[in-house]
Amino acid sequence: MPRINSPAELEELRKDILLKRDQNKPCIAVCTGTGCLALGAANVVTAFKEEIKKQGLEAKVDVRETGCPGFCERGPLTVIYPEEICYLQVQPDDVEEIVSQTILAKKVIDRLLYVDPITGEKIVHESEIPFYKNQMRLLIGNNTKIDPKSIDDYLALGGYSALSKSLFEMTPEQVLEEIKKANLRGRGGGGFPAGMKWETTRNAPEEVKYVIVNAHEGEPGAFMDRALFTGNPHSVLEGLIIGAYAIGSHQGYIYTRHDTPQLIDNIAIALTQAKEYGLLGENILGSGFSFNVEVHLDIGIFVSGESSALMKAIEGRTPEPRPKYIHTSVSGIWEKPSNLNNVETWANVPPIINRGSEWFSSIGTEQSKGTKLISLAGNISNTGVVEVPMGTSLRKVIYDIGGGIPNGKKLKAVHIGGPLGGSIPESLLDTPVDFDELAKVGAPMGAGGMIIMDEDTCMVDVARYFLNFLTDESCGKCVPCREGIRQMLKILTNITEGRGKEGDIELLEELSEVTRDASLCALGGGASNPILTTIRYFRDEYEAYIKEKKCPA
């Protein structure tokens, strides 16, 4: 790879990449995201390559292994370009027919198309499928057009133009101001304004500063960061480098799970390619700005995704949270100012720089701007990764995009925010996807995991499930979290096993409040949310369990 030493050379390389690509040349894009791989996508890719070689079409047809396009329920997905024909649940046995009929004869294979469950219409194009049509796919929309192992694919779509603009057309202060004006709020859970956090780190007195990508995503039912980062790693890396420039950092870290081999491999390849092109490392694009990135793997515990615990892990210490009277943005890794944002937050930075803060802030609600990635799981027809403008109602997400509840069942509850989130009933489905509005009903957005539950779900069991998870994942450092969660789980277990008694509900509420108010970090602070929301909205199930020794569900 040639090293790029200026914005002009970057644009010259981009033009050269596009010039060598025939936009009319057939391309078979096969999703090789985690979900599709689990459904046999690797065998589909192999079958396509063998069939194309068999028919002597290597020079005429490309096969691209892409990241997750989101529609996990119907994988393995295959999109045929340039026509954008979308085939669902493709198997190796379908490959010969796709090559002979769609690639060579230009015919559409009806049985592999999406069929509208209401009208019976067979939909050919990916963008017209209701799952996609009702979204705004600003971050994840390019996943079917990019091989995550190819930096050239990212460059062909304008990749690293925002970095070039930042380094050569904007001062660090101007980049920071643009992020602040965009009102980009952190997508990792709390919704804290990213620009304010960047500014705090930038203004901290220490000369050495760090920037970090939190790619831990340890909560059950959440997989949107993994889909985005695995499928388009350069979008996150570009955002990180821009943030480092604005903050004045020359060293970054990517903190991710040890049990995500595909993500780890794709990150490693992206870092190597970016360095070879001069987009990472010393004297980036000839600008004089230098920045390096290291990958750090977790040890497999949920609490290590908490900001201060994560930073201790990077130092090589036990990942235990610390009190927040000193913010990590002022004193983080090795007591140096450290800015931490999650995958989705960093990926929003390049489009904001390229298209402007006014464009970004025109999307969403007054207080929550842009789009939000959501992972839909549970009792829903269309599981997968969804991206919608902030302010979209839960009803639209679940029914217009998610396809509603399967098997004729009724929706009972939506659990939002993972183990530290809350469960809300069907009556609140018109609540918008918005940091503040969801918090008002007791279900903080968290990173964006959304678990849908039908009429057969027992909400007391749901609360017990999350408390059981948190009991194992608490670091045990503080008594309110360690003992509070354990005692709440003990009471929930007694209730679900027929040993509940009068006063248990009130005791749970009291313990929940103490654990919430006295715990050291957000794990203990949020552990009560599943209990408090299920008691608030489904108290009758607790009472029935205690009085009748069984749940109505």
49-68: per-residue pLDDT in tens?
999 999 999 999 999 999 99
- CATH code at 286? 3.40.50.11540
pLDDT band at 221 (very low <50, low <70, confident <90, very high): confident
Rg of the chain over all Cα atoms, to the nearest angstrom: 24
Residues β-bridged to residue 296: 255
Q: Does residue 433 lie within any of the structural domains?
A: yes
- CATH code at 50? 3.40.30.10
Q: Does residue 301 lie within any of the structural domains?
A: yes
Residue 545, pLDDT above cutoff 90? yes
404-439: per-residue pLDDT in tens?
999 999 999 999 988 999 999 999 999 999 999 999
Separation in Å, CA 13 to CA 6, 287, 291: 11, 17, 22
Of 88, 121, 145, the one marking the end of a domain is 145
Which residues have CB under 8 Å from 178's CB, separation 6+? Answer: 170, 352, 353, 356, 357
Tokens representing residue 342 in the block:
């999650």
More confident: 163 or 521: 163
Tokens representing residue 521 in the block:
């970090």
3-state helix, strand, coil in the chain (%, to 5): 50, 15, 35
- Alpha-helical regions (H) of 289-342: 307-314
Do residues 249 and 323 share a domain?
A: yes
Residue 234 is predicted with a pLDDT of 98
Residue 277 is predicted with a pLDDT of 97
User: Contact at 8 Å (CB) between 298 and 257?
Assistant: yes
Do residues 239 and 179 share a domain?
A: yes
192-220: per-residue pLDDT in tens?
999 999 999 999 999 999 999 999 988 88
Any idea which residue has 């209701």 for tokens? 130
Of 454, 471, 487, the one marking the end of a domain is 454
Residue 478 is predicted with a pLDDT of 86
286-327: per-residue pLDDT in tens?
999 999 999 999 887 888 888 999 999 999 998 888 887 778
3-class DSSP assignment, residue 491: helix
Of 424, 454, 484, the one marking the end of a domain is 454
Residue 320 Ramachandran class (φ > 0 left, ψ -120 to 50 alpha, else beta): beta
Q: Does residue 151 lie within any of the structural domains?
A: no
Do residues 194 and 342 share a domain?
A: yes
Please count the structural domains in the chain. Answer: 4
Do residues 448 and 464 share a domain?
A: no
3-class DSSP assignment, residue 364: strand
Do residues 192 and 296 share a domain?
A: yes
Q: Does residue 150 lie within any of the structural domains?
A: no
Peptide bond into 76 cis (omega under 30): yes
Closest-CA residue to 194 (of 240, 228, 252, 250): 240
Residue 475 is predicted with a pLDDT of 85
pLDDT band at 242 (very low <50, low <70, confident <90, very high): very high
Q: Does residue 553 lie within any of the structural domains?
A: no
Percent of the chain with pLDDT over 90: 85
Q: Does residue 473 lie within any of the structural domains?
A: yes
Integer Cα distance of 145 and 157 in angstroms:
9
pLDDT band at 534 (very low <50, low <70, confident <90, very high): very high
What are the backbone dihedrals phi and psi of residue 175, each rounded to the nearest 5 degrees, phi first?
A: -60, -45
| 512 class by beta-carbon count within 10 Å (0-12 exposed, 13-18 middle, 19+ buried) | buried
Residue 301 is predicted with a pLDDT of 83
| Average pLDDT score over the chain | 94
Integer Cα distance of 322 and 210 in angstroms:
18
Q: Does residue 181 lie within any of the structural domains?
A: yes
Do residues 120 and 189 share a domain?
A: no
More confident: 524 or 172: 172
Separation in Å, CA 477 to CA 474, 487, 511, 516, 524: 8, 16, 18, 15, 11
Do residues 327 and 409 share a domain?
A: no
- CATH code at 518? 1.20.1440.230
| 40 class by beta-carbon count within 10 Å (0-12 exposed, 13-18 middle, 19+ buried) | middle
Residue 71 is predicted with a pLDDT of 95
* 223, amino acid identity: F
Do residues 206 and 328 share a domain?
A: yes
- CATH code at 434? 3.10.20.600
| 165 class by beta-carbon count within 10 Å (0-12 exposed, 13-18 middle, 19+ buried) | middle
Tokens representing residue 44 in the block:
């589909």
Tokens representing residue 370 in the block:
């842009």
pLDDT band at 251 (very low <50, low <70, confident <90, very high): very high
What are the backbone dihedrals phi and psi of residue 296, each rounded to the nearest 5 degrees, phi first?
A: -125, 130
Q: Does residue 154 lie within any of the structural domains?
A: no
Do residues 499 and 518 share a domain?
A: yes
Q: Which domain holds residue 419?
A: 371-454
Integer Cα distance of 255 and 521 in angstroms:
19
Dmax (CA) for the chain in angstroms is 76
Do residues 221 and 281 share a domain?
A: yes
Do residues 449 and 474 share a domain?
A: no
Residue 89, pLDDT above cutoff 90? yes
pLDDT band at 537 (very low <50, low <70, confident <90, very high): very high
Do residues 262 and 411 share a domain?
A: no
Residue 250 is predicted with a pLDDT of 98
